[in-house]
Structure 1
């Protein structure tokens, strides 16, 4: 499928989705959202996709919503921003969070507004040292969306979440790593190589089980202790019936490298 606003490929188990509106700092429009949704649909349907790498072209990761898009510009009547949230942003962050494979995000340059929170919806976030994260919503009278008000307090605590959301200050990649907002800060010239190295590693792991790990950790944020124990029981039962588990045990006993297939 030909895309105009993104680059997309699946090769050797790695699905790569790159935002490709560099002149606009990869800010989102309706057509770009639709292309991203189509690509994520391909990832879900293609059993060969073992890991997703989300990245961006140009000097910035994503500046969030394109404020020149007609759907969000105030006119004679105030726009209903909830429609864009309902149609585009909520489905996007749900898809990233719920994909049954690991999702890596490589952040170059600025990740602002929804762009920051889309990155935080991924499982492992690598950021170039020159990158920064900005909850820019407060500067134009809006609230953090795309899961921002959910993710921020859970990742960095309420005090820091409020500071990020109310002040809209730039948070450097190095500080984001120290606060636990992201997985790792790497040198700018190493971002792509480090992201690909991580993607290749994960693509060769028992990704069926990794998907169950994602489900269990996400559920733990809201479950009681007893509910989480029950979920662990159910998911471990599923994991134990997988081909990957059988292969993992066989490889361990035979002292050979496992050849996982993600099922």
Structure 2
């Protein structure tokens, strides 16, 4: 997979690193990135030696969420965000996943990181659940994962306001994640990965299964609710106008 926009590499025994590096599309959910992520997690699932995965981006981008074309396709009723499920890949990965979010996490890209078992943020980077910026209600399980990982009050603020928050601000707001200078994020993630990789693989898998069991069970019901909200909110003319005018700004 070395030529893919998603690179998979065993950086140390038992530690596998996924690097999202679609520089052309700035790590939005392009077809190349989506296919690359699915293949990456299939590769991890097939390897009995991996104990922990680290997922990261490139330069100042972790993941930028849906593409303009993808959002317009949902607006037109040709697609749903559930058609290709990449958002819960970290959750359903058998081994623990560490999100080294060294760069911006935007919309679905931020949510994607929150599905990991560990999250490390960058002080300089911007994190936003900006679905409502475009006038449609959140998807990808955001209405469940943000309150679960960040606490209800901050999550409600982020989801309703669609505002952007630097990692440094989120640190002050008391997010339960490590927040470090960008150039220290990946190193800290690898150090954490080493601590995890010291444990027996079967014990890691067993404990993760136990810890995320409730999330895995409750998430499908939340996704159904988000799809229903999309039927109400996504097909407004104003949404199309906002996507056309505001995307990437």
Q: TM-score range by the shorter chain?
A: 0.7 to 0.9
Is it true that 1:80 corresponds to 2:78 in the alignment?
yes
Q: Which residue of 2 aligns with 1:226?
A: none
Pair 1:142–1:216, CA change in 2 (3 A): same
Pair 1:177–1:98, CA change in 2 (3 A): farther
CA contact (8 A) 1:133 1:170 kept: yes
1:180 deviates by 5.7
Query: How many Å separate the matches in 1 of 2:2 and 2:149?
Result: 37
1:139 deviates by 0.8
TM-score by length of 1: 0.74
Which structure is richer in relative contact order (CA contacts within 8 A, separation 6 or more)?
Answer: 2
Between structure 1 and structure 2, the one with the greater Rg is 1
Query: How many Å separate the matches in 2 of 1:177 and 1:215?
Result: 29
CA contact (8 A) 1:25 1:58 kept: no
Is it true that 1:114 corresponds to 2:115 in the alignment?
no
Is it true that 1:32 corresponds to 2:26 in the alignment?
no
Q: 1:141 aligns with which of 132, 135, 153?
A: 135
For structure 1, the residue ranges without an aligned partner over 5 or more in a row are: 224-263
Query: How many Å separate the matches in 2 of 1:188 and 1:181?
Result: 17
1:219 deviates by 2.9
Q: Which residue of 1 aligns with 2:126?
A: 132
Pair 1:187–1:216, CA change in 2 (3 A): same
CA contact (8 A) 2:63 2:106 kept: yes
| Secondary structure, aligned partner of 2:212 | helix
Query: How many Å separate the matches in 2 of 1:130 and 1:56?
Result: 14
Deviation per CA, 1:30-74, whole angstroms, max 9, x where unpaired? 23211110110010010111111100012211110121x3x4436
Q: 1:199 aligns with which of 193, 198, 206?
A: 193
For structure 2, the residue ranges without an aligned partner over 5 or more in a row are: 218-249
Q: Which residue of 2 aligns with 1:50?
A: 51
Alignment of 1:146-161 (within 5 A): 146-161=140-155
CA contact (8 A) 1:155 1:180 kept: no
CA contact (8 A) 1:59 1:108 kept: yes
Query: How many Å separate the matches in 2 of 1:216 and 1:141?
Result: 37
Q: 1:168 aligns with which of 155, 158, 162?
A: 162
Aligned CA-pair RMSD? 2.4
Query: How many Å separate the matches in 2 of 1:147 and 1:220?
Result: 14
CA contact (8 A) 2:73 2:79 kept: no
TM-score by length of 2: 0.78
Number of aligned residues: 216
Pair 1:25–1:31, CA change in 2 (3 A): closer
